[in-house]
Amino acid sequence: MNAFARYVCLSACSSMAIGFAGVASAQDSSGPVAVTESEGLGEIIVTAQRRSENIQNVPIAITAADSDALATARVENIANIQAISPSISFRVSNISSSSANVIIRGLGTTGNSRSFEGSVGVFIDGVYRTRAAAALQNFLDIDNLQVLRGPQGTLFGKNTTAGALLLSSANPGLGDAEGMVDLGYGNYDSILARAAASVPLGDSAAFRIAGLASSRDGFYHDAATGRPLNSDRSQAVKAQFRVDPSDGVSIRLIGDYSLSHGNCCYATSNYIDGPTQPLINALTAGLGLALPSTDLGDFEQTLNHEGRQTTEDYGGTLLATFGLDAGELKSVTALRKFKVTQNDTDPDFSGADIFTLDESFSSRFFSQELTYNGKIEALGANMVLGGFFSDEKLAMTRDLIWASQGQAFWNAALGASGVPANTAFAGPGQWAGEVMGGRAKSYAMFGHLDFALGDKVNLIAGLRYSIEKKQGSFANSFYRSAVNDVFRLLGIQPGPAYDASTTDKALSGTLGIQYRPIDDVMLYATYNRGFKAGGVNMDANGAGTLVNNADAFNAIPAPLRAAFFPGVTAQAPLSPVYKPEKVNAFEAGAKIEYLDRRARTNIAFFYYDLSNIQVAQFIGLRFTVLNAKSATDYGLEVENLFQITPALTLGLDGTWLPHAQYGVDPSIDPALSGQRFRYAPKFQGNATLSLDQPVTDQMNLTARVQYQYSGAQFINTASTTKRGSSGVLNANLGVKLPDSGLTLEAWGQNLTNKTFATLSFNTPLQTGDENAYLAPPRTYGVRLRASF
């Protein structure tokens, strides 16, 4: 069955709807979603153009969801974001600071790298987050989410070549005291408790406090001990103070702190067995440990290190709005810290005790944005003018340690090539310490104009000038002195130390036209020039391998050099700098309401022409960043929402990507040259049926059934490994007491318990072997939500 036939089948069999339960108040224009009640489907008010307007009048492809819709769709954090739009997906592997990837329309910065931010900008309360992992923590007191597709540089922050996610916290109300409680329990001992309360402080000020506590056992369990793996425990708090000292002036201070910890995230599944798998099994059995099941659905792994991870994310945001006679001036100031530490991890991803590592990542981030929203009456134009500055400091370390079976592993692995035992030294103990640092400064000026040419036509134009300064460094804080160290003889490490920098300057912008031929129909066409800065690859091999480190290479005794590097001489260090990514994005779309506004269809055709697209790769022993010279990405999105009855809503969303492909480029990995993007299936679709049916004057029956389909796709940036298509069935059933604000529901995700990989990677040290992270198995539970 082809993708179009599947879409038709989904249309006939089930459906998708983003149900905006209740009415959200648009309290400011920094990002709220409001749903106004009316005949048929209510209006959805968004702020994608920095002003409040009906989503059907905005010439941007947008998906929006308020807090009730997010709760119903079980979008507790960014991990399940595909539940609200098939155009967007998320991947993460062993350490979120380096591997959290958001993909929109097949485009996104994919792979594992400490160095760069994503192509999809994540903004929380107007503050740009350099790592998508900041949205991986459970959402706390989030009022709404907007997904903007396509480059957004003339309106928001930075690094939005693929799109932007806008998350906004609930705004403290100046009226009566209010609050909410959200409690849930599910299998895998999953517990989630959230609460928030706002208290007015006189007529012009209010205080709001919110807290969260959650815990979940991991889906994997250890075959040897039975303990759950990839578990998580989290706590978070958010406090807000709002004061409106006079008409047109509003000041809001937000402070938040979150902490999570667990034995994360090295439990994976053997996906493709390489030639070393029998050796790994023998070493595991030699320790008296059980081998994990080869059935992916058993979610079994054997690990011999604890794998402790701690993630901290905290900071403060000052939002200030000043009403002026001709417009409004807004300031967003933020200072944030994001830290991830991992200790005693198991990076051979197996029960064999080969090696372990400790790793840390720390980001200190300051940003300041000023925007002015106004009108040019003589031109009939809405105007946004803005300036943006950010300064991020990065500090990272790694300590690498050969474990009890490191020597035995290398004796056997190298022995297969005829190398005598113990020629290469991998005895127990630390063999390397790495220190990496970086800094990124961003400066930008941007403007966006929307001209009304009569009642039916608008012209949109915008420009952005960006200056991006990046610096990165690497040095070994320690490297074991043994001249026959195994990584020396393999020619991998120690790589050369470096301290490099790069500056990119770019002019980007947008040009578009919007036409409303009749009421309830809006047509648009846009061109966007997107830009994402280059940077410095911060890795032990960022400037090359051992051969690029002349002092270390020449220190190897001549007999060993002759045996392992015949005819090779030392070379100069390589440049660790990678180039900026650019995109020419063309889009044409239509937003249509019909059947007395009981039906809504939004369609977007898009074509992206990309140059120097950035790809991160893990190639088994080291991390690289490369630029593919060219790529093209085009397709079609369709979003449908139908009100079948006043209580029953049907929606169908589909994203078709017939072409999302790197150009033929002999300078990049053959696994990528001329190949399709990773995590970019030709078709993805969501289908859901939502019910909110009054059964008495005091009670409503609520239900939701969703089917998510994703086509076959490549899932490894360093190989051509592909997974087949997959489909997931989700459902909710509950009761709601509208007058009291109480909802009780039972829910289930992946009810048919489908097992499939979300991403795979080349297993460290094991050429030809791949491990994979799997999508969650069947989960279910109950949830109680109440507002007052």
Two structure tokens written together for 228: 């759950």
Closest by Cα among 101, 47, 153 to 585: 153
Query: 494 preceded by cis ω (within 30°)?
Result: yes
Q: How far apart are CA 540 and CA 470, in angstroms?
A: 18
Number of domains in the chain: 1
| 696 contacts: CB under 8 Å, gap ≥ 6 | none
Provide the whole-model pTM: 0.91
Q: Is the dihedral of CA 423, 424, 430, 435 positive or negative?
A: positive
Q: How far apart are CA 592 and CA 57, in angstroms?
A: 10
How many angstroms from the chain centroid is the CA of residue 339?
A: 17
pLDDT of residue 547: 95
Return the ∠ at Cα 310 (arms to 778 and 477), rounded to 5°: 130
| 436 contacts: CB under 8 Å, gap ≥ 6 | 114, 394, 395, 396, 397, 398, 472, 473, 474, 538, 539
CB–CB of 425/114 below 8 Å? Answer: no
Question: What 3-state DSSP class applies to 586?
Answer: strand
pLDDT tens-digit profile of 115-127? 878 888 889 999 9
CATH number at residue 209: 2.40.170.20
Q: How far apart are CA 638 and CA 701, in angstroms?
A: 29
pLDDT of residue 49: 87
Two structure tokens written together for 250: 């509003």
pLDDT of residue 110: 79
Question: What 3-state DSSP class applies to 378?
Answer: helix
Per-residue b or e along 609-630, where b marks 16 or more CB atoms closer than 10 Å to that residue's CB: ebbbbbbbbbbbbbbbbbbbbe
Using alpha carbons, list the distances in angstroms from residue 433 to 394, 427, 540: 17, 16, 10
pLDDT of residue 402: 97
**CB-facing half-sphere around the CA of 644: CA atoms within 13 A:** 15
Residues of the chain with pLDDT under 70: 1-39, 620-621
Which residues share a beta bridge with 602?
Answer: 591, 639
CB–CB of 613/585 below 8 Å? Answer: no
Closest by Cα among 628, 611, 622 to 574: 622
Closest by Cα among 62, 66, 61 to 27: 66
DSSP string, 116-166: ---SEEEEETTEEESSGGGGTSPP-SEEEEEEEES--TTTSSS--SSEEEE
Instruction: Give me the domain span that covers residue 579.
Output: 3-787
pLDDT of residue 39: 66
Q: How far apart are CA 99 and CA 93, in angstroms?
A: 6
**Max CA pair span of the chain:** 89
pLDDT tens-digit profile of 415-463? 988 899 999 999 999 999 999 999 999 999 999 999 999 999 999 999 9
CB–CB of 369/126 below 8 Å? Answer: yes
Closest by Cα among 307, 402, 312, 403 to 359: 307
